[in-house]
Chains A and B, each alone.
Chain A
Amino acid sequence: MNILRKKSTAHLPFSETVIELFIRLCGISSILFVFGIFFFVFREGAGFLFGGLDVGQFLTNVEWQPTSLNNKRYGALALIVGTFSVTLLAMCIAVPFGLGAAIFVSEFCSPKLRETFKIIIELLAAIPSVVWGFIGLTVMNQLIITVFNAPIGLTMLNGSILLALMSVPIIVSIAEDALKAVPDSYREAAEALGATRWQVVYRVLLPAAKNGLLAAVLLGAARSIGETMAVLMATGHSVNMPSSPLSWIRTLTATIAAELGEVARGGEHYQVLFIIGILLFTITFVVNLIADLAIKGIRQES
């Protein structure tokens, strides 16, 4: 008799079988969706990507003139630089604030304050991006004009501040998890050797949690790269190689959002927008992959 090892579904009630099947489908579906989306985006852009588009020019030219009648240009460099520069500046703002807040929440504040903090931070994550864009158009715009005496406030800086505020909740919650995952015995050991709480943080916790903190930053960055509406509204939406934080820019995502509705389906312009989609997909995929590997690094260590 081999009761334990026998795994026949025949004896299970019908409902069990159905539920198991359903859950299995749910699990598989997410994989199917990801591949489905990738397949669809790739199919729409593939024709032009492999036949016609000068990929070198696409990646290195700054001229984006897809609607010009006699001088069509598909140079996405300004858009790529726009995306990366606004993200980089956003991270310069969000990383110190996000990691600082995570360290405070996990190590320094009282349990009661911690709960309040977490709720508020989650609230920050729940604000729709169009609302952020709206704040960028009105409040931040005016603020930047006043503070920097700039002609217009719809700039890279404006978009970066919004993106920073949007990625801070992600950075805080993942970084806090990473710090919480550091065994308490390390803190105790360091304190018993006479380390102050701040010394415990920067001599023990930060090195021990560095992979998780890196993952937090990367996922925050991935969020920034993919964000569309807020940057579309707040950065001026003008194809331009930025020279300072007060330059106006345009990002890859905003370009797709703004132009896709007005192109002829299947045309070159339509396809090139999908190629931008493929590019975005690749960038976020790489960033997420690195973040995942970093998180795996933590698990192996602890």
Chain B
Amino acid sequence: MRRLLWPVLILALLLLVNVLFTPGFLSVQVRDGHLYGSLIDILRFGAPLILVSLGMTLVIATGGIDLSVGSVVAISGALACLQISQDAGVFTAVVLALGLSVLLGAWNGFLVAGVGIQPIIATLILMVAGRGLAQLITDGQIITVNDPAYKLIGGGYWLTVPFGILIVLVVLAVTAFLTRRLALGLLIEAVGGNAEASRLAGIRARGIIVMVYAFAALCAGVAGLMISSNISSADGNNAGLWIELDAILAVVIGGTSLAGGRFSLGGTVLGALIIQTLTTTIYSIGVPPETTLLFKALVVTVVCLIQSTAFRDKVFHRRRPVALAGPATEEKARVTA
């Protein structure tokens, strides 16, 4: 896959920088029956972002965008923790939280496909209102829970592997199955690539759009469970804050166009890993805390430019004639000499 070449190179470069700054960065050991190491941490802490980004990929492929995923993360975690703190079973709590997430996503889809509001505005509504909803659920407090079964989702291990990583693998496999083995991916790409042509080809675009927004919210809901489970508490204000922006970034770095159409799940996973590795790198190379955001912004800008075919063409094509001109002038110089 040539399309994934650049994200892979960028990720490799980031890892290399880490190896230079942190000895033993690449080592993975088993301690107390758990996998342990910097690479595992990147996967573990990056799991929620990967999930949210996967959902975002499908939304963006239809030509839309979902700004509300961060709020859904907060709502899902808040509802689950509230249920558990009221002595409901973990299973009930998880089902309720995910059910509400899907409902919220379907609402987004309805606004976009049914009412015809522009996606950025339609999801902005829930992005803002959702934070309020999350605080309503937690009554403005941070709900702390202490339930080993719930803790497993974000902080636990299964067969030495962090449970969050397993969840990501399952969701990734299911998404890949739905889109690539079944025909969902083709129809999504057709709708995003040419909406009118898709309508005339008989595709029920409305249903598909509602479905991808519901799916994006479901992914965000799972990510919300992970985040709240990992810290054993639900924070309506800060859980998943700005994760939608990181997710959009991950999708773009992964090579999916914001204009819709072709999408790449593998690219998105790489994109999310690049962002997570960058965060890790910032800590490991000791960037002063007050400049981390600026540093991150700079790296992201460079990454996006390298990812852009138009930019690469411009830079490299402009250089190529110069490089060709070099030997030629040299030769001429030799002749005259």
Same complex for A and B? Answer no
